[in-house]
Structure 1
Amino acid sequence: MINIQLHNDCPATDTIVPNQFIDRFMPSANGEFVKVYLYLLRCIHSHASNCTISEIADKFNNTEMDIQRALRYWQKEGLLSLEETADGKLCGIGLLPFPEDSTDTEEASSSPAPSAVSPKETPASAAGETFCASQPVNLPQEPQIRHYTLDEIAEFQKNPDIQEMLFVVETYIRHPFSENDINTILFWHEDLHFSAELIVYLVEYCVSKGHTNLRYLNKVALAWHEKKITSVEQAKSEAAVRSKAYYAVMKAFGITGRNLIDSETAMIRKWTKEYAFDLSLIQEACARTISSTGQSSFSYADSILTSWYNDKVHSLEDVKRLDATHQQKKKERAAVKANAAASPKKNNFNNFESRENDYKSLEAMLLNSPIRS
């Protein structure tokens, strides 16, 4: 028999959040991770089949790395399946049925086993739904925080350096450690291989920026680990460059009374690290952005700096040369346009060859000719 394809032409305006997600998974999850999962639910219910990691990051003013962490978290919890290409790039996201709960035996025994769903199929069934990413994205593996037993923690605290480190960190964050806090700090020491001095500086640096939440501190620690920062000197150098660049951009854009969001700081990192632009070039791009748009548009400034990067600009002198070349081309285009406007249009009247008569001589000839009677 011929398969009948079912489709829904009614616009979806509501997103249904399963009670199991609210009761079992949401309380223990990071709030940012919850946002990502709810957004995927919304996309599925509105029949959106394509997106990119960068689009989701922009939606919540997060970095792409934050979105990737959220996806890996829900994959670990068994709520998502991440489909990858042969070279390890993300090409699809599948929403899975909720794992069986041992306390819910009746539902577990009555529910059928989930069947496999092809990435090309998108039926809204209990077997799960597929959400395809239109742009492949690499998902680098991130170290996971290990949960130590109380005996293992007590063994660590026998080390005087670790004991002193924990005391200093607890003093900085101004609240007693929870078990998760200690696991996070030991994760920095044992898995990220941060020295006690580097961990103390990490906490000191974040507290000076007004952040004492261990989740925020862990994000900074992971970022330093990705940049292969292993000493206090490297961390100070990174912080100095970052703080100087951020302050310069905020001043150029006239930003006061708020901190930069993740997408804005990511652009600044690209300008200073990937493009290797000095602050004078970045400030010039910001000034031109304000002049052209009247607002502090990071995306507009990014388009200017990306154009300069593609044109091999390295200094303000290079910018001046580009401006001169642009102005010269602009004048040439204007001259061509003016010449085209001044030249007569070709038509039948202009193509007619006019007579070349000397009217004065004709007039004299007529006056001098005898009048015949």
Structure 2
Amino acid sequence: MNFTIETTDMDLGDTPIENIFINDFMPMANGTYVKVYLLGYKYAHDKDQNIEVNNETIAKHLDIPLDDVLRAWDFWEGKGIIEKMPVDMNNKYNYKVRFLNLKQLYIKNNFNILNAKEESPKKPYLCTTEDLIDANQIPAINRMFNSIDYIMRRPIVPMEKQKILAWIHDYNMNPDVIEKAFFYAVERKGIRKINYVEGIIRNWYDQGLTNLEAITEHFKSQDEKYYKYEKVMKHLGLDKRPITQGEMKVIDKWFDEYEFSMEMVLKGCESSSKVSNPSVNYIDGVLTSWFEKQIKTFEDIEKKDKLKEKKDYKVTKTVERKSTPIKTRFHNFEQRTSKYTSEQLEEIARKKREEHYLKAKGES
């Protein structure tokens, strides 16, 4: 006697993906590598033993070259989250993929950190030229380098790029966190030195600040002004570029001179949805108008809106008047024909015609 479960004709199941993969590993890979990992993980999680899957199956399913699938497994093996188990020792491309448990890896890594004092110090990662070439093919890494070029106001050289890639490996930082460190160093501290940025990264790592959410909360408690800049620019959808000194002064005015709360400032930022290119200057016009009208709270805004609504919908009654013709001096003239009846007028006209006829006949 045995027990079986009927499989459905359609795939209506689900595949649990660990958040560690989504948060820590997915941002560092290009889309193709992520798709290969997810589809392979889905097949590994599938309980139907009748389904036979290999790299050719994945390549066909995703409509990509087989070489892309193989490169994806090489990439994830390098990140330490899969193992390739050879099937045919004479064919290095014929292997099975074993997905490692990311929760268990996380616990082991943290356990190793706690016991690091008893072990020899870990050697820093040395990024090679080949590593740099491969990294540039990853969209998230490429975007990070382009953003850093913009923030630094100069293109960073290959040696600096290799150093930055080493930070990602040594401090387990995502590209967006590295970008935020450059942004903070240049725009907030006014320092454009690579070593200074590395110091920021190291401090964040020591404090356990390894993602943007944690860093934002840190700014909120330690650097209130920078937190305000971040909040406003993100609300306007302008957080992908550095904030200018002029924009900082304008935002400072809203809080220091106008004494608006963060909620009121963000309420003002909502008006940016009415324009195609929102800007700090546009919001400054809105908030300055509120300040001049002594609008300080949401209740003041509601009162203003109700007053405007009354004005817009106020109906003024129009009094109907009979149109009277404009009189001129000719209207005071009394017509001669008003003294005769219609029969008398006809008789006068007949006599006039006869006189005209006789006169005309006598002339002839």
TM-score normalised to the size of structure 1?
0.27
Q: Relative contact order (C-alpha < 8 Å, sep 6+): which is higher?
A: 1
More helix by share: 2
Q: Whose Rg is larger? A: 2
